Structure 1
Amino acid sequence: MWRHMADSAGVAGRLWDEWVPTQVRRLIVDALPGGAEDARRLAVWLAATHDIGKATPAFACQVEGLAEAMRRCGLDMPLYRQMPDRKLAPHGLAGQLLLQQWLVERHGWPKAATGQFVIIAGGHHGVPPNYPAINELGNHPSLLRTRGSEDIWRGVQDELLDVATAACGVGERLAAWQRVKLPQPVQVLLTALVIVADWIASNPDLFPYFPGERGSDPERLDTAWRELNLPAPWAATEPTQPAEELFAQRFDLPEGARIRPVQREAVRLARELPTPGLLVIEAPMGEGKTEAALAAAEIFAARSGAGGCFVALPTMATGNAMFPRLLDWLERLPDERADTGAHSVALQHSKAALNRDFAELMRAGRRQHDLDRDGTGDAWRHSEDARSASAELVAHHWLRGRKKAMLSSFVVGTIDQLLFAGLKSRHLALRHLAVAGKVVVIDEAHAYDTYMSSYLARVLEWLGAYGVPVVVLSATLPPQRRRALAAAYSGTEEDDAAFAPVEQARDYPLLTTAAPGTEPRLSAPEASGRGTDVAVERLADDLDTLADRLAEDLAEGGCAVVVRNTVNRVHETAAHLRRRFGDERVTVAHARFLDLDRLAKDEALLADFGPPEKVAELGGKRPHTRIVVASQVVEQSLDIDFDLMVSDLAPVDLLLQRMGRLHRHPRGEGQSQRPRPLRTARCLITGVDWETVPPEPVAGSQRIYYRHPLLRSLAVLDPYLAEAEDAPGVPASAEDGRLGNVVGLPGDISPLVRRAYGDEPVGPPQWQEAMATARKEHDDHQANQRSNAGKFLLNPAGRAGRALVGWIDAGMGDADETRGGRAQVRDINDTLEVLVVQRRADGTLATVPWLADNKGGRELPTGAVPPPPLARTVAACGLRLPYQFSFSDVLDRAIEELEAACVEAWQAKESYWLAGELILVLDEDCRASLAGFDLHYTPFNGLEVHHAQ
């Protein structure tokens, strides 16, 4: 134990000196009277003493042979089986009480002053104790010191604490510290630092133990730290060059391209803000918001001391698309500590190991176990660190697994990974340490519902308390959400009058800044001059009508996209259009494909419909005539461009996002390279019964988006959707005075979103009764979402000096992205994911036959674990089953059937890719029956689901 105490203290010192970002250190330093020296001493001392609770009979009785040796030295204790109540004294809680008693009895501390320090020992296993647990252990003192030998136990405990305190140079500081009031964010960060130090010091490969070993060996720590080789944090240097030069150096700008006014203004604000804080960038699609965010992040990091950057995106697909862009940016960054070696990089979502770029960084091969328990069990092989070609970026071996990956310096992940920081869950302190040392970039901020927004607001509140710079990006952010985000980060109530101008602002593009203790500021840069006028029309929700209109508009060729709100409508539409136009002219894109097929679909979309330079780079050629029938996957993440769009009605912000895929890139002077009838961008809106009053969205759309936002969307678009002869001279929402039924991008984005999400009545008088009913249903639904979100929502940071006792009480265990994990921070039902294989005519199992690169049709052994490359291929054939399988009775039945058909050999612990996974076996015709449904999968249509006959 004394050896582990010394190891933990030594590791904590190295972490403080070489790994903890300046941004985190500064927060702790500012809380202590002795500044930096005090902060380091406190961190080291807390690590040294965190396991003092193991010097108790409740812990020591577990191994009888060792316990007997202690008894011979006078440390009496009952046998293990004679201590049924020892569960009341987990060693973290026991250590908390022992430290408290030591401070009170030997150093004269008031008991009330001790909690904020000793809670760190209590919470070092991921869950700070609550008051009932503390009181219960206090009523069982014999678990800490056996009756009859209390003095001997106390002597050992005090000696360990006295020696640790002297070794850490803390003795003379204790008197001053008892007057300190540690802010709760500081308590969280110190707890996380102790956890990391404990996990590293507990690894026997790094810190081996030898019987009879005496004394402290400095080489022991040096050797272990050198073997661990933990990458240092980013040390950003503040760029001083003009914005144009900065962007030219950091990003691949087309030759002769000029940076956009929004990008220039983002750089200016980042440089001029008194302290780095929140920066909200609202600008049209295609304006380079991501590049603006990364440029601002570099400036913020240099000024705040952030040691990395986390980019949060709505989905795994958007995360995968962002990851190579982040790597390109990183390779261009200067670093004032470049001689310190590599930077740690991670892609953080449940399928990160299947991403090509990240797999290359990890040198795809042996999958690491995620063993977070006290840091034991990880393999330490530097050959398994994967470096980029420049040897500057590394997927570090220790920073793997769902609890540690976020501690990497640079992370791209789903928004869930950020929202988990607002979820009461085990080892939450580690997630806070991970984000507290970074700049956080939140993309597509409009894409989150009330449930998710509750978590986002709470996380922003904590990020503001930590002083974490945050950049929020959106093309279509409702004004109320802008105000809520700014108020949350600033730590004030949303109805604070100082934030009214944030909601009232009508400029677009718009940049908003906020920080705790300051009033928000607004800046309205000029638009870039790029714009697209989109003619909008109604289209009856009839497949023959759709086919006739497409035949007419595509008579001279062209590329059209039909966006449906449900996959079932995608399938129905594609089948009908194929009968009319042929299979080769109609393709589909949605989320119900195998992972490898989805990746191939995305690549094909970019090769056919991406920017001209991207199409040329991929060796593709824009099709003469093509119809893509897609779900919402084309709404974001993919830089693709169509001549014509047909879209189901959606909330207006999402509908505008879809319109951003029309004429996204110039194709010849005046779009002259597009077919003549399609040189004007046109969006036909369908998925609505236009004959009712008000028009009625189809049931599938209402299930996804709810009726109220759909009717509000219809109401604000109604002036644009009038028949030509009935069109008003100046549409009510067209504030630039333009005539006709044309939505101007970006000019109409802000007024349309503002009116759709505002409270004023919109739409014709005869709609109002139905809209009022829909509004009531919507308000009830949002209230229910807020209530449900609050069940596991972390509390705001409490007053300084208040201990983190019960910090995550009533929490939900571990936060993760396993099956059902996303439902912890999203208002969705538990979902089921399967790995898909095929059973051939001879009864053998194989990978599905159409996979490229010689991966398809490979026989799979059933009596043994498949070789890692083959197992990885199976793991890359993951498929999330649709909503029909989210209902509890169907879900339970499906799991039961899938588990009954599992391949036993694949569940072996060495089966890193397949153990614990559910396998869906398709027959020769790629069909299967599951839980009363017939499933059919093809690489052309994805998964189709029908009720069994």
Structure 2
Amino acid sequence: MTGGGELRSGLSGRLSGPVRSVWAKHDRDTEGWLPLWCHMEDSGSVAGLLWDRWVSSNVRALVAEALPGGEEDARLLAVWLAVVHDIGKATPAFACQVDQLADRMRREGLEMPTRRQFGADRKLAPHGLAGQVLLGEWLEERHGWTRKQSGQFGIVPGGHHGVPPEHGQIKELDDRPHLLRTPGPSRPVWQRVQDELLDACADEYGVRRRLGAWRAVKLPQPVQVLLTALVIMADWIASNPELFPYFPQEIHRTGQERMAAAWRGLSLPPPWRPVEPAGDVEEVFASRFDLPPGAKVRPVQEAAVRLARSMPAPGLMVIEAPMGEGKTEAALAVAEIFAARSGAGGVLLALPTMATGNAMFPRLLDWLERLPAEEGARLSVLLAHSKAALNDDYAGLMRESRQQITAVDTDAETPEWRPRHEKRSAPAELVAHEWLRGRKKAMLSSFVAGTVDQLLFAGLKSRHLALRHLAVAGKVVVIDEAHAYDTYMSVYLDRVLSWLGAYRVPVVVLSATLPAARRRQLAEAYAGAVTVAGSGAGAAEFEAVAQTDAYPLLTAVAAGRHPVMERPAASARGGAVHVEPLDEDLDVLADRLAAELDRGGCVLVVRNTVRRVLDTARVLRERFGDEHVTVAHSCFLDIDRAANDADLLVRFGPPGKTGDRRPVKHIVVASQVAEQSLDVDFDLLVTDLCPVDLLLQRMGRLHRHQRGPGQGHRPEGLRTANCLVTGVDWGSEVPTPVRGSVAVYGAYALLRSAAVLLPHLEGARRPVQLPRDISALVQEAYGDAPTGPEGWAEAMTKALEQQKRHRTDQAERAQVFRLGDVQKPGRPLIGWIAAGAGDADDTRAGRAQVRDSKESLEVVVVQRRLDGSLATVPWLDKGRGGLELPLDRVPSPKAARAAAGCGLRLPIQFSYGDVMDRAITELEKLYVPAWQAKDSPWLAGQLILALDADCQTRLAGFSLHYSQRDGLEVSSD
């Protein structure tokens, strides 16, 4: 047997002689192998099924639009490129790697040097690049294409290992033809084998008749990306030996039988196929969301649905509306309409933090369970951040969806896959699919909730970027809290939006406090330079987007069209907030709260640094008692922080959900964690001075809900909404914010915030009217016009210069690894991610690539007992506390998961060069080899911080103390 598969048909039937000896896959353990023709056929079959049963309609339509034969051409091209993607393996530079398989080929006349004889030159011909060159030569020499014409097709096999080649790499290979065909008598044999494979592929897959028409095609770069990603998927699936066993075991199966067995074993969930919801807005919201009795759809929600239905084509919609106005529900309703009208096959919810992602995930599941679906439909779902497996909702979904991916009996009539539990009664079954996991594939799930980093990675030059683009191209993208992203992140976000516009991906952007200039930047980035620069009218209309002060506001942009704005009415919610300056002294704060809480009440005190949170809580506990003061900040164990958030929602959430659990008198001292995505409601707000948009977000936690007629269920003295602003020396000629606030936000943003608040702080102290004043305050604070008293001008100018230098630095650093813009159609993706960042992942280092933050240290916190053994911290509930963590073996799954849930991000002082290096060195002393097992991933690769029996330790010259009540406290020696 020279190549195996004599009983097969298809591509095999067109080949004979030496070509059948060319190999593609080899297993060193079993000595099994796979002929190249077989892997090519497998890959093409997978690509065809992916195209027919997995790729979303909008992606298929985008590819089809670029080709003269429409969708028929698009499918032909996708399958053919998957078939020929590994043609570069039919070269001596690749084939020499396995001696016995190379000898088999030599016996058929395909002479080649040994791997050692090739030397370092062999690395200049990776089989992807070799495949691009061979396919290009075949198109040029046998079909009359130019090199430019062939390059836009050849780049797909060239980039199927995650990085499209660069011009220099192509030149180096062109200069070394011996890597593609061995010189001498065997060169014609190599040429004949390569041509025979490519000819057979063109004939078997019906492409030869279309090559003439395709020669005139100019493939848009987004289409090149999508085809590359589809080929990568097909290659990965076809390379799985569990699904596609190696020879000689498979000799008895036809290609169709082999593919049918593999597809059943994979059981990949199809894309979402939504139908635009019928009925009026009230009916849509009643059927999709768990609305309180008597609740009415708000004007912003109604306007968003109406605008989505009226747009000529789905595009970008920016929804600006007050806090608590139901923007998330509006976004999901718009997403369903956009998906139905565009053919998108899923939704991506991008949120600022892991905590907000965790909070959104159950809301996503609730919405999915209410969506209509065909009987037996399955939808793949993902929580996308590095600690998703610790989320109970997602962990439960993974357990229910557990799947062993293996090839199945070809005679089976039903898939091997079965959910482990049949708990959900949703119209569509929700699954966390086994194959759609891992940093490179997970985003391919249909429905994703996660951090915005996952979206920003689509603008980062990184390996396998094409897969990320395929993942977002098939979805509706919802970007929440758009005001929360700084200049560095915005550089990436704007570039991603430009690519999303090119893919015609529908996008919904949400914000309560969006500066007008930023609104315009988002709209222009999505619409593209052609629309903006095309005419004076277009430019004027985009300028109008930046000039309006309407609020609430909806802004809609479809690709190639001018923006449209709608100004819905505000709901009846909101009211007057009285703003008052408060002295920075903590005793003054304690005295004021004592007076305000004379008859009870719930107060939120927001500080800009964790240090200020803890210092404030210490003073207030001395005055009010431990039982009346709660702390919330980012330096808690993951599991404790999640419990803190849940506790805040229970005690301070909406009236219908908290019942009688709301305390009579209580003070919550929190950092910025209280700013967003927590539906909590307080009677009085005290806040450090911060940028005005964030201050308004904090005000959104003040009198958030109606508690009785005229707020009559609140304590008598707190029925008027009052916000006390501190963290600044109000007595100096120019207000001086505390040092920690300046370090976090910069002096200019704080001074502008103070300036626009002056009319509400001085004299008669005109209240801030919500929502009426939100846009006016934000636009003035972020505008270019001077503001504030004349005596502040010098300080303002100096602070502005500092801010400009900082933002310029941010923008320049962000551009180092930022993806280029979409180039004109027909230009190959050569060098697309040149000088890139390597792999992009949701590790601390990965997140630092798209956020302007120092790489933070994350540790897993355990406790060292008096006898020296390790255990989980003792206060964990559900029997997880005090579990043994043995040093000589893998801990039990329960103990390992409990320990992993105790992740902690160390504060900023551990992120500086020498301190970080010293801390890592000290932490690495507690390295437990037994915990690094591949079958127990919870603790593998983690830095372990062991606290003593008193929950204390020392690290890099700092003393650390942790308590369930206050989180981590750090003091220098």
TM category, shorter: over 0.9
Q: Is the 8 A contact 2:861 2:902 kept in 1?
A: yes
Q: Which residue of 2 aligns with 1:823?
A: 848
Aligned counterparts of 1:388 and 1:497: Cα–Cα separation in 2 = 55
- What's the secondary structure of 1:306's corresponding residue? coil
- What's the secondary structure of 1:824's corresponding residue? helix
Q: Which residue of 2 aligns with 1:281?
A: 319
Question: Counterpart amino acid of 2:506?
Answer: P
Mapping 1:251-330, distance limit 5 Å: 251-330=289-368
Aligned counterparts of 2:420 and 2:789: Cα–Cα separation in 1 = 63
Cα distance 1:572–1:537, how it changes in 2: closer, same or farther (>3 A)?
same
Q: Which residue of 1 aligns with 2:233?
A: 196
Q: Is the 8 A contact 1:93 1:129 kept in 2?
A: yes
Are residues 1:686 and 2:726 paired?
yes
Aligned counterparts of 2:437 and 2:419: Cα–Cα separation in 1 = 12
Q: Which residue of 2 aligns with 1:480?
A: 517
Q: Is the 8 A contact 2:401 2:431 kept in 1?
A: no
Aligned counterparts of 1:157 and 1:214: Cα–Cα separation in 2 = 26
Aligned counterparts of 1:276 and 1:220: Cα–Cα separation in 2 = 40
| CA-to-aligned-CA distance 1:489-545 (integer Å, 9 cap, x gap) | 000287833300000111100000012211101100111121121111000111101
Identity over aligned residues, as a percent? 65
Q: CA deviation at 1:326?
A: 0.8
Q: CA deviation at 1:387?
A: 6.6
Aligned counterparts of 1:774 and 1:536: Cα–Cα separation in 2 = 25
Q: Which residue of 2 aligns with 1:673?
A: 713
Q: Which residue of 2 aligns with 1:221?
A: 259
Q: Which residue of 1 aligns with 2:556?
A: 513
Q: Which residue of 1 aligns with 2:90?
A: 55
Question: Counterpart amino acid of 1:82?
Answer: Q
Q: Is the 8 A contact 1:591 1:598 kept in 2?
A: yes
| CA-to-aligned-CA distance 1:910-930 (integer Å, 9 cap, x gap) | 221111111100001101111
Aligned counterparts of 1:270 and 1:858: Cα–Cα separation in 2 = 53
Q: Is the 8 A contact 1:381 1:397 kept in 2?
A: no
Are residues 1:123 and 2:159 paired?
yes
Q: CA deviation at 1:210?
A: 2.2
- What's the secondary structure of 2:759's corresponding residue? coil
2:608 aligns with one of 553, 561, 565: 565
Are residues 1:531 and 2:574 paired?
yes
Question: Counterpart amino acid of 2:642?
Answer: L
Mark the runs of 5 or more structure 1 residues left unpaired by the alignment. 370-379, 728-739
Mapping 1:685-724, distance limit 5 Å: 685-722=725-762
Are residues 1:605 and 2:648 paired?
yes
Q: Is the 8 A contact 1:18 1:232 kept in 2?
A: yes
Q: Structure 1 length as normaliser, TM-score?
A: 0.95
| CA-to-aligned-CA distance 1:358-379 (integer Å, 9 cap, x gap) | 111001899999xxxxxxxxxx
- What's the secondary structure of 1:104's corresponding residue? helix
Cα distance 1:114–1:293, how it changes in 2: closer, same or farther (>3 A)?
same
Q: CA deviation at 1:219?
A: 1.3
Question: Counterpart amino acid of 1:144?
Answer: L
Are residues 1:625 and 2:665 paired?
yes
Q: CA deviation at 1:109?
A: 1.1
Q: Which residue of 1 aligns with 2:675?
A: 635
Mapping 1:496-895, distance limit 5 Å: 496-616=539-659, 621-722=661-762, 726-727=763-764, 740-895=765-920
Question: Counterpart amino acid of 1:176?
Answer: A
- What's the secondary structure of 2:112's corresponding residue? coil
Question: Counterpart amino acid of 2:610?
Answer: V
Q: Is the 8 A contact 2:400 2:431 kept in 1?
A: no
Q: Which residue of 1 aligns with 2:27?
A: none
Question: Counterpart amino acid of 1:777?
Answer: Q
Question: Counterpart amino acid of 2:867?
Answer: D
Are residues 1:27 and 2:70 paired?
no
Q: Which residue of 2 aligns with 1:46?
A: 81
Are residues 1:75 and 2:92 paired?
no
Are residues 1:209 and 2:209 paired?
no
Aligned counterparts of 2:112 and 2:225: Cα–Cα separation in 1 = 34
Q: Is the 8 A contact 2:473 2:505 kept in 1?
A: yes
Aligned counterparts of 2:567 and 2:400: Cα–Cα separation in 1 = 46
Q: CA deviation at 1:862?
A: 0.9
Question: Counterpart amino acid of 2:326?
Answer: G
Q: CA deviation at 1:821?
A: 1.4
Q: Which residue of 1 aligns with 2:9?
A: none
Aligned counterparts of 2:650 and 2:307: Cα–Cα separation in 1 = 37
| CA-to-aligned-CA distance 1:326-366 (integer Å, 9 cap, x gap) | 1111111113xx14521000000011111111111001899
Q: CA deviation at 1:907?
A: 1.6
Number of aligned residue pairs: 918
Cα distance 1:867–1:144, how it changes in 2: closer, same or farther (>3 A)?
same
Question: Counterpart amino acid of 2:717?
Answer: P
Q: Which residue of 1 aligns with 2:28?
A: none
Aligned counterparts of 1:228 and 1:367: Cα–Cα separation in 2 = 9
| CA-to-aligned-CA distance 1:59-94 (integer Å, 9 cap, x gap) | 111111111111111111111111121000010000
Q: Which residue of 1 aligns with 2:527?
A: 490
Q: Which residue of 2 aligns with 1:93?
A: 129
| CA-to-aligned-CA distance 1:369-416 (integer Å, 9 cap, x gap) | 9xxxxxxxxxx9845777761261111111111111110000001000
Aligned counterparts of 1:28 and 1:589: Cα–Cα separation in 2 = 49
Q: Which residue of 2 aligns with 1:439?
A: 476
Question: Counterpart amino acid of 1:154?
Answer: Q
2:465 aligns with one of 428, 434, 438: 428
Are residues 1:419 and 2:456 paired?
yes
Aligned counterparts of 1:366 and 1:594: Cα–Cα separation in 2 = 28
Q: CA deviation at 1:108?
A: 1.4
| CA-to-aligned-CA distance 1:133-183 (integer Å, 9 cap, x gap) | 010011010000011111111111111111111111111001110110000
- What's the secondary structure of 1:719's corresponding residue? helix
Q: Is the 8 A contact 1:385 1:394 kept in 2?
A: no
Q: Is the 8 A contact 1:267 1:295 kept in 2?
A: yes
Question: Counterpart amino acid of 1:498?
Answer: E
| CA-to-aligned-CA distance 1:232-259 (integer Å, 9 cap, x gap) | 1011101120011111111111111110
Q: Which residue of 1 aligns with 2:20?
A: none
Aligned counterparts of 2:297 and 2:136: Cα–Cα separation in 1 = 59
Mark the runs of 5 or more structure 2 residues left unpaired by the alignment. 1-35, 406-414, 534-538
Are residues 1:142 and 2:178 paired?
yes
Q: Which residue of 2 aligns with 1:462?
A: 499
- What's the secondary structure of 2:661's corresponding residue? coil
Question: Counterpart amino acid of 1:325?
Answer: R
Q: Is the 8 A contact 2:403 2:417 kept in 1?
A: no
Q: Is the 8 A contact 2:401 2:433 kept in 1?
A: no
1:230 aligns with one of 258, 268, 271: 268
Cα distance 1:368–1:429, how it changes in 2: closer, same or farther (>3 A)?
farther
Which stretch of structure 1 is more off in the superposition, 487-496 or 342-351? 487-496
Q: Is the 8 A contact 2:44 2:79 kept in 1?
A: yes
Question: Counterpart amino acid of 2:138?
Answer: W
Moved over 4 A (4+): 364-369, 383-388
Are residues 1:917 and 2:942 paired?
yes
Q: CA deviation at 1:909?
A: 2.4
Aligned counterparts of 2:566 and 2:933: Cα–Cα separation in 1 = 58
Mapping 1:106-121, distance limit 5 Å: 106-121=142-157
| CA-to-aligned-CA distance 1:263-315 (integer Å, 9 cap, x gap) | 01001100000000000000001111111111111110010000000010000
Question: Counterpart amino acid of 1:249?
Answer: S
Q: Is the 8 A contact 2:41 2:255 kept in 1?
A: no
Aligned counterparts of 2:663 and 2:222: Cα–Cα separation in 1 = 55
Cα distance 1:188–1:365, how it changes in 2: closer, same or farther (>3 A)?
closer
Q: Which residue of 2 aligns with 1:734?
A: none
